[in-house]
Copies of this chain bind each other. A is one copy, B any other.
Amino acid sequence: MSKKKPLILVTNDDGITAPGIRHLISVVKKIGDVIVVAPDRPQSGMGHAITVNDNLYCDEVHLDDEVKEYSCSGTPADCVKIATQEIMKRKPDICVSGINHGSNSSINVIYSGTMSAAVEAGTSNIPAIGFSLLDYSMEADFSHTSEHIAYMVNKVLEDGLPDATVLNVNFPKKSENDIKGIRLCRQAKANWVENFDKRQTPTGRDYYWLTGEFVDHDGGKDTDEWALAQNYISVVPVQFDLTAYHALKEFKNWNFED
């Protein structure tokens, strides 16, 4: 009995030529038929931005003989929308985003274009995984991620994902030590404390570069930060129902009229 090959949508936020997405494509093209729709330039830190005040280009490009690819002028979330509504002939069986050059663990998930692409797919009931590597370098070594990506993509293709949930997967940076395994985690409580670098233009106008320091307030052994520090791959199931259900009862003093 022959099984139909799965249809896999690949996108990212570092742009279609970034080494991270090229590595991801090389892994998943062994698993199914791959369509790539990815930004035509870096879109890091774009969060869940979409393009509402400008038009979008989405042009076919030829970078890999085995894969159909489109370079899109929009954000990662735009790429998923245009891929699923305009480019692909049927709904993909899975959407994979990344591999991001840099961490999307903990609070970084809310700024991440990589994860927003996965979330966008999730809102249309497409199982989705965002992959990130804790190495910002464009020369980063992704070789240790391949077998784990193949395992996780196959697992999701077989079992699906819980309703309204996508996966945020972060890989430790390549080192001499072997990856210890995969850990299911919660998002560590953390935030960024900014430290703007204030400068002046040659004509004397102040401007700023956003820089900051990541502060982990958590330290729990069930968090993604802990797992990554121990050389585990972290997997956090991420939801897009943002309702703070546990907080609903704390508004008793409010005057809710009927």
A interface residues, Cβ below 8 angstroms from B: 42, 44-53, 55-59, 74, 77-78, 81-82, 84-86, 107, 109-111, 116, 119, 123-124, 151, 155, 159, 161-162, 164-165, 168, 180-184, 186-187, 189, 191-196, 198-199, 205-210, 212, 235-248, 250-251, 253-258
Contact = CB atoms under 8 A, between A and B. Distances in A.
A247 B107 CA distance: 19
Contacts of A50: 45, 47, 111, 210
13 contacts: A44-B52, A81-B210, A82-B194, A82-B196, A82-B208, A86-B198, A161-B247, A162-B244, A181-B256, A184-B256, A238-B242, A239-B247, A242-B242
Contact of A85 (B78, B111, B196, B206): B196
Contacts of A257: 180-182
A45 B49 CA distance: 5
B208 A237 contact: no
B247 A123 contact: no
Contact of A47 (B49, B56, B85, B208): B49
A43 to B, nearest CB: 9
B244 A56 contact: no
Number of copies of this chain that the complex holds: 2
Contacts of A164: 189, 244
B184 A248 contact: yes
Contact of A187 (B209, B243, B250): B243
Nearest to A80: B194
Given A109-B242, A241-B189, A242-B238, A52 B210 contact: yes
A203 to B, nearest CB: 12
Contact of A119 (B77, B110, B151, B165): B110
Contacts of A255: 151, 181-182
Given A49-B45, A116-B47, A255-B182, A110 B208 contact: no
The 7 residue pairs across chains A and B that have the minimum distance between CB atoms:
A181-B257, A47-B48, A162-B247, A239-B244, A47-B47, A237-B244, A45-B52
Point out which of A50, A81, A151, A255 has the most chain B C-beta atoms below 10 A from its C-beta: A50
Contacts of A245: 186
B247 A243 contact: no
A244 B110 CA distance: 14
A45 B57 CA distance: 18
